[in-house]
Amino acid sequence: MNEILFLTSNKHKITEAQTILNKYNLKLVSFPGKGEEIQSDSLQEVARICAKRAYLRIKKPLFVEDSGLFIDALNGFPGAYSAFALDKIGCEGILRLLGQERLRGARFECAVAYADKNGTRIFTGAVLGSISTQIFEGEGFGYDPIFIPEGHKQTFSKNFEVKEKISHRSIALEKLAKFLTEKKE
């Protein structure tokens, strides 16, 4: 089984990534933190630079991922500032910002940056959906209690099996796993 390092301190992200990579016989080893994060509006740029810097330090194949929630009615906010917004205003604050807004479209985006001796590659994933009008506690983390994926009635927090299949992170990691498996053959 090939080993790959995932730089994150987020237990939920590790579990979600393990589910995907195990299917491809890739063994995930987590490594705390993704290093010093740069300030940028681009998830891809943040992930790419973190992965590049980490590879220079660790010198083992690794990946870093950066995600964000983009809400249409808020012109894409919180986007690349999703962690900051969650920390400061939480899901409750997001619902307050949206108020009675009827157009509640949103999307999660994820950028996975994989680095090895050949350089850095980016794999992306996105899932469309909408923001609920109340918080639904359940499984998952972050904004899962208020994000309803398109074609479904419940939030990710209340329908976790769906999240595992269609999330922004699953899509990006499937692409990474396929790339790594094809590379081996």
Helix/strand/coil for 174: helix
Site for ligand IMP in 63-122 (CB under 6 A): 66-69, 82-83, 86, 108
| Neighbour-count burial of 145, counting CB atoms closer than 10 A to its CB (0-12 exposed, 13-18 middle, 19+ buried) | buried
Give Cβ neighbours of residue 164 (< 8 Å, ≥ 6 apart): 16, 19, 170
Give start and end residues of each alpha helix (H) in 70-155: 82-88, 90-98
Residues tagged active-site: 66
Which of 142, 148, 149, 174 is in the footprint of ligand IMP by CB under 6 A? 142
In contact, 54 and 115? CB cutoff 8 Å: yes
Stretch that binds ligand IMP, among 55-63, 91-99, 134-142, 172-180 (CB under 6 A): 134-142
Told to check if 144 binds ligand IMP by CB under 6 A, we report: yes
- Select from 22-30, 116-124, 139-147, 173-181 the region that touches ligand IMP (CB under 6 A): 139-147
Q: Determine, following the binding rule CB under 6 A, whether residue 174 of this chain makes contact with ligand IMP.
A: no
Nearer to ligand IMP, 79 or 181 (CB): 79
Cβ–Cβ under 8 Å, residues 109 and 70:
yes
Residues near ligand IMP, by CB under 6 A: 10, 66-69, 82-83, 86, 108, 140-144, 167, 169
